[in-house]
Amino acid sequence: MAVLCKPAIAVPEYIITRDDTLELARQLHYDHLQLKKVLRLIEHTGVVRRHLIMPIDKVLEHPGLDARSAIYEEESKARVPSVVRKALDQAELEPQQIDLIIYVSCTGFMMPALTAWLINEMGFRSETRQIPIAQLGCAAGGAAINRAHDFCRAYPDANVLLVACEFCSLCYQPTDLGVGSLLSNGLFGDAVASAVVRGSGGTGVHLERNGSYLIPHTEDWISYAVRSTGFHFQLDKRVPGTMEPLAPALRAVAERQHWDAGELDFYIVHAGGPRILDDLCRFLDVPPEAFRFSRATLTEYGNIASAVVLDALARMFDEASALDGQRGLLAGFGPGITAEMALGTWTSTPAGTG
């Protein structure tokens, strides 16, 4: 009985508001031929503020890939452990009880992955398995949940730690002036999230089924161009319309569980932008309130990539509105175009406790 426990979230201390972002766009790109369109798109993202690991003037400097890689390592080591400790505490586990660490991040690269450092520094067993996921982008939060579920099905008494570390500000590229790139500059934020999937015991979402779906021939719609200056984010203008082909995939996963995707009790989905959520309301025939947790994440933190689903889930825990046995959907969307989907039921009674 794999149970996804309450996630822990941390956002960095530097804040940039939507008004700040709009003013920066006017100052930096005053002569851009499509500036009015860019400003209009940023205004309609639904993002009110975002958190950054550095002051905005430092982000704008872009000191080069070497320096950015050093910042990524330094900041991840400084910020991840406290979030992991909180996630473990919320799952009522110690590091020695974790059997697998799944670490997801698409905004920096280390080898060995941060998992090795965490095992050495935080008291995890040397036998702890490691799965770093680097290339699923925003879908990786859903993929981490699903791989943890698979592992717990294979090893029913196992416990899995999930870590999402996304410093999107380290991917800012001052020379990328396309509309998609400039929109991204007003959309993405930084965050660290962690959660535990317990093979037995625990309260939260009892994972029932998972699935993955790739929209054929869309692999260049969301991508990185990897250059000497780092990761250059590329976003196709067709991406906001991807919920139309993905909604049937969400319905199909639910149908295999004999559920109706439009009649569930809770929805935790990746908030890539407001249209994603608006279209899902329409194609799944659910009210806008169904995505209130994802909308809150987008409003308060921006698109925090793979950490979105964990933050949205933490908000549902905090609301304390879910009842035992209620059914829900979790989903992450990212490059591929890939959807990672999970179904679960809410449980507030750990297995074996009555």
Cα gap 138→335, rounded to integer Å? 7
Query: Is 138 a residue of the active site?
Result: yes
- What is the gyration radius of the CA atoms in the chain, in angstroms? 19
- Is residue 104 within 8 A of residue 67, CB to CB? The reply is no
pTM over 0.75: yes
> What pLDDT score was predicted for residue 176?
85
Which amino acid is located at 271 in the chain? A
Own/partner pairs, 215-220, CB within 8 angstroms, 24+ separation: 215/242, 215/245, 215/246, 215/336, 215/337, 215/338, 218/242, 218/336, 218/337, 219/335, 219/336, 219/337
Cα gap 12→51, rounded to integer Å? 6
Of the candidates 194, 118, 199, the residue with the CA atom closest to the CA atom of residue 159: 199
Cα gap 238→243, rounded to integer Å? 11
First to last CA, the chain: 14
> What pLDDT score was predicted for residue 315?
97
| Residue 81: both structure tokens together | 């452990």
Which residue is it, tokens 């919320």? 90
- Is residue 221 within 8 A of residue 236, CB to CB? The reply is yes
| Residue 346: both structure tokens together | 């809410």
Look at residue 316 and give its three-state secondary structure.
helix
Residues contacting 49, CB < 8 A, separation 6+:
15, 16, 17, 18, 300, 301, 302
> From the first residue on, what is the mean pLDDT of each consecutive set of 10 residues in the chain (354 residues)?
96 96 92 92 91 94 91 97 98 98 95 96 97 94 98 96 97 88 89 97 96 95 88 85 92 96 96 88 94 96 96 96 95 94 92 46
| Residue 211: both structure tokens together | 């699935």
Q: Which of 138, 152, 168, 171 is catalytic?
A: 138
- Is residue 42 within 8 A of residue 25, CB to CB? The reply is yes
Compute the half-sphere exposure of residue 197: CA atoms within 13 Å on the CB side of its CA.
30
What DSSP assignment string belongs to 221-266?
Answer: TEEEEEETTEEEEEE-TTGGGTHHHHHHHHHHHHHHTT--TTS-SE
- Is residue 135 within 8 A of residue 103, CB to CB? The reply is no
> What pLDDT score was predicted for residue 351?
56
Look at residue 60 and give its three-state secondary structure.
helix
| Residue 22: both structure tokens together | 């709009």
Query: What are the backbone angles phi and psi of residue 26, rounded to the nearest 5°?
Result: -65, -40
> What pLDDT score was predicted for residue 184?
86
Of the candidates 162, 172, 170, 222, the residue with the CA atom closest to the CA atom of residue 192: 162
